[in-house]
Amino acid sequence: MKERPDPAPEFPRGPNCWDCRHLRITWDPRLPYGCQRMGFRSRVLPSLEVLRNDGRHCGGFDPKPPVAGKSDTPVESPTPRRQSDHFKPFIGINLIT
């Protein structure tokens, strides 16, 4: 008999709704969070509501697409103004003689 491997959960702590494309913020202050895929609103994040009611992690998690143009490298100094020393003493010039 072939032994089945124990399936490891994809998300050990469950999916994060903030990273899901189906999370919606609703207009109702009593039920501020919603799941567009499952079609409900809740007082808590939808993944917690699914776990509370079903006993399993949310199966409708779909990660958000990456943001276009976003990179992990820091932005270079855009202007020479940033390269000046703001703590250098100001030397005034007397134009009236």
30/41 Cα distance (integer angstroms): 9
Q: What is the pLDDT of residue 94?
A: 74
The token duo for 93 is 């010039």
Number of neighbours of residue 60 by Cβ within 10 angstroms: 14
> What are the structural domain ranges in the chain?
11-65
Give the pLDDT band (50/70/90) at residue 32. Answer: very high
Q: Which residues contact 46 (CB under 8 A, 6 or more apart)?
A: 17, 22, 23, 33, 34, 35, 38, 40, 58
pLDDT per residue as tens digits for the range 55-95: 999 988 999 988 877 777 766 655 555 556 666 666 667 77
